[in-house]
Structure 1
């Protein structure tokens, strides 16, 4: 894919401005910048807005902020709102508790392909390593430092990145990381974006991937590229996980391509559903 596509980087966040600050710092150091950055805030208090306002002044690309009331974990909803406001054709999606390798955006652009979406991986930091990088404002982490897991996910090797794009776990439609994905905006609109029936942590990213695949959009993997480092935090609440698992199973079994409560709520005109949950 040509490198002249226009990209919107969407960063989801909730009440961790210290991590978001480090994430934005890593974005500002990209070898190829996104054309805009949108913070998708699922109900944080004023400290996050204050941080974003501080960064807006000197950020190298337009930086915008989308916020919603805190009514529990509603990642699907805030992502839809941010995607609806995105100005560009290609959406790269991350979480605000990541720092990005300097070629992260470059890797995603180079692997972009019409008729496909991309899912990446992550390097996990333990608690002590997270404390070190946050204390020292470090956006890049060496391959051999202690406190990191998923060793192969640290490596950026271009020929392996390209080789595995259409080979890595192609038979596993549920393999993905919602914190490191990329889509054509037109494909997201086609399936009506995220399903907002998903509340509470888990499976909203798997389910949108299933609907994309059901609609004929191919999954590609970004391994040995698109490297991100995930800062340590406590576990998510899984109280709604059973319901979300059921919705995911329904999308798989009935080959769902379109959700009823999706991104169309934020557009004046919306595509007609093919199959509806």
Structure 2
């Protein structure tokens, strides 16, 4: 049986402490805890800081807060700073508007293997169910709940997933969700982490994965496991997508394995 890698759970957040609280509660309920948790905070106000301070008092593993001033949507930059501060070998990356299945961390660490990264999916929750969950600490969610959408993503069957993987390999850039991914830290450093030329919502994960592929890093088949429930919120402003698509296209055309403005500046 392969050893379980040491792990850091990275949680990206911005000014939604009510959702972050539900995320942290679901981390505490994991059947296998990460070795440390780092909150990558893209400029939240004092309410978020106060919430994290309260959780730090009794959290079961070290809980760190990496913050940068609010200067627009700079998710790649704050993730780079959090990755640079991580002390463990394997990084699991989520957003602070998710409720994690109790086996979420265990599923990622069980599926982790050298030379590979993981791109998972998410279960979308309705606005009504999300409001109910935000008012309560009861996180018992199943695919049969009213308000659980794309129910197939809520089916937890990791043994079946490992059997399917014998016949199916993940390729390409489809269904990449930065809210549910994991990597070996050394692989991220090898490609210089996130490209900070990408600002505003969208495409930072796609561009990173292009460079990982070009370095020979492959993708693990990761259906039926690593389940996250996404709390409803209004969509972000997507006007930056076309600009960021240009950076992605450049990475494809140049077979890029490195970005000029990445994690190296923080190491």
> Does TM, scored on the shorter chain, surpass 0.5?
yes
Large movers: runs of 4+ above 6 Å: none
| Structure 1 residue 25: Cα displacement | 0.2
- Relative to structure 1, is the Cα distance of residues 166 and 92 closer, same or farther in structure 2, using a 3 angstrom cutoff? farther
Distance in structure 1 (CA, Å) of the matches to 2:40 and 2:250 = 28
Measure the CA separation in 1 of the matches of 2:11 and 2:131.
21
Alpha carbons 1:174, 1:210 under 8 Å: kept: no
> Within the alignment, does 1:172 sit opposite 2:145 as a pair?
no
**Structure-2 residue corresponding to 1:225:** 225
- Aligned position for 2:20: 20
CA distance in 1 between counterparts of 2:207 and 2:27 reads: 28
Q: State the shift of 1:222 in Å.
A: 1.4
Tell me the residue number matched to 1:190: 190
Quote the offset at 1:240 in angstroms.
1.2
Separation in 2, partners of 1:95, 1:205 = 13
2:99 aligned counterpart, secondary structure: strand
Aligned residues of 1:169 and 1:175 also touching (Cα < 8 A): no
Query: TM-score, normalised on structure 1?
Result: 0.93
* Number of aligned residue pairs: 267
Instruction: Tell me the residue number matched to 2:207.
Output: 207
1:1-277 paired onto structure 2 within 5 Å: 2-165=2-165, 170-267=170-267
8 A contact 2:202–2:244 mirrored in 1: yes
RMSD of aligned alpha carbons:
1.3
TM-score, structure 2 as length reference: 0.97
Superposed CA deviations along residues 108-131 of structure 1, whole A, max 9, x for unmatched, are 000000000001000000100101
SS in 2 for 1:196: coil
For residues 61 and 174 of structure 1, do their structure 2 counterparts lie closer, same or farther at Cα, with a shift above 3 Å needed? same
* Distance verdict in 2 for CA 1:167–1:228, change over 3 Å: farther
Which structure 2 residue ranges, 5 or more long, are not aligned?
none
- For 2:24, what is the secondary structure of its paired residue? helix
Q: Is the 8 A contact 1:3 1:110 kept in 2?
A: no
Kept after mapping to 1: 8 A contact 2:171/2:219: no
The Cα shift of 1:142 comes to: 1.8
